[in-house]
Chains A and B, each alone.
Chain A
């Protein structure tokens, strides 16, 4: 598709952003646009502007009822160890317990240091490279604590893997620590680092070797 007439560079980027939002690209072009989205801020802004421009077309989608059991599956996947129980005496007992905890927290919280919570340490098999995952008030931070970033032309990519689920790309680990605003990863979830071509995995799933992994709370 490269033999279409060239546009000025700005229009070229903007046309590609529009084509991505519209959805007309074939798979390889789509994946390369997605890789660019993760690293090229200006391109991500263009895509966001096109999403807003096209938003009035969303009126053309009719509602279709979603089965309630799908939400139960989503909750089971995201919150595997904390079933919410409602109603009955147990509900009241839990509410009482929560109130007691809240009072205790109110009394003791000022005494506690609001320090980062350690989630996991990821180390390569030879121990030469290692990352530390910590959690502070809504942010997951991954810091390299030993070794070097990936060699020239490659990058370490971070993944979050829910039990039985597909890996979700969280970001690229380069020189500086990576901080991501995300939901708190639950115990039993796995953090993994794979070696990918510069710019990150072209497919949205790990393509290179997984060089380190650790289960949260293990």
Chain B
């Protein structure tokens, strides 16, 4: 399958700065969307964006097109960095906590309408449909917004360990379904 982002990453690994500029031009809106969604604050998302592209340039040589698409690799760097920042925030600095929970409900339907279009995406929706609705929603919410186990437990009003047990079971069931 064609993967223009993978081609740009390969050129970045060969120190091609024009490719790096093209990579930023073509992918920064998506990564900014990811960072803004998880971090919630524009100034912090911009700082994070700078860090994410610095890492992408420095690590481009480790990207392996055989193992996944370029955009998936970039989004993983962005999500990991954003979630690291989120988890390192002090609790008292987390005044936007409840707003973050509200983001999930807001996000899900929109995501779903887009998911229908593509083949692999349709299969993912089928696999989510086989989970209990609240568990499917927990997995999606955690992925898109970066909710922690503690936040999910509060949202679903269950003890943290109970939530972790059923979320782990859901993940393994999801794996079974997606790998078929």
The answer to the question of A43 belonging to the interface, with a C-beta cut-off of 8 Å to chain B, is no
Q: Are B140 and A60 in contact (CB under 8 A)?
A: yes
Q: Chain B residues with Cβ under 8 A from A74's Cβ? A: 24, 50, 53-54, 57
B residues 19-75 touching A (CB-CB < 8 Å): 21, 24, 28-34, 36-37, 45-46, 49-51, 53-55, 57-62, 67-69, 71-73, 75
Please name all residues of chain A whose beta carbon is closer than 8 Å to the beta carbon of B174 when the two chains form the complex: 53
A124 to chain B, nearest CB (A): 26
A4-B168, A15-B171 are known contacts. Are A56 and B121 too (CB-CB below 8 A)?
yes
Docked Cα-Cα span, A153 to B144, in Å, equals: 38
Given A1-B160, A78-B57: A71 and B168 interface contact (C-beta under 8 Å): no
B114 touches A18 (CB 8 A): no
Question: How many residues on the B side are at the interface (Cβ–Cβ under 8 A)?
Answer: 78
Known: A78-B57, A138-B13. A55 touches B68 (CB 8 A): yes
Docked-complex contact B149 and A18, CB < 8 angstroms? no
Checking B46, B80, B123, B175 against A70 with a beta-carbon cut-off of 8 angstroms, the contacting residue is B46
State the Cβ distance, B125 to closest chain A Cβ, in Å.
8
Interface string of A156-178 (1 = CB under 8 A from B): 00001010011010000000000
From DSSP, what is the main secondary structure of chain B's interface residues?
A: helix
Rounded to whole Å, the gap between the CB of A10 and the closest CB of chain B is 10
A22 x B143 contact (CB < 8 A)? yes
| Contact present for A23 and B143 (CB under 8 Å) | yes
Question: A57 and B28: CB pair below 8 A?
Answer: no
Q: Which residues of A contact B24 (CB under 8 A)?
A: 66, 71, 74
**Could you give 9 example pairs across A and B, Cβ below 8 Å?**
A1-B160, A4-B165, A18-B175, A26-B148, A55-B72, A60-B140, A67-B46, A78-B54, A182-B58
Which 6 A-B pairs rank lowest in CB-CB distance, beginning with the nearest?
A181-B61, A60-B111, A66-B28, A63-B29, A66-B32, A56-B121
Chain B interface (Cβ < 8 Å from any Cβ of A): 12-15, 17, 21, 24, 28-34, 36-37, 45-46, 49-51, 53-55, 57-62, 67-69, 71-73, 75-76, 79-80, 83-84, 87-88, 107-108, 110-111, 114-115, 118, 120-121, 123-124, 139-140, 142-144, 146-150, 152, 160-161, 164-165, 167-168, 171-172, 174-175, 178-179
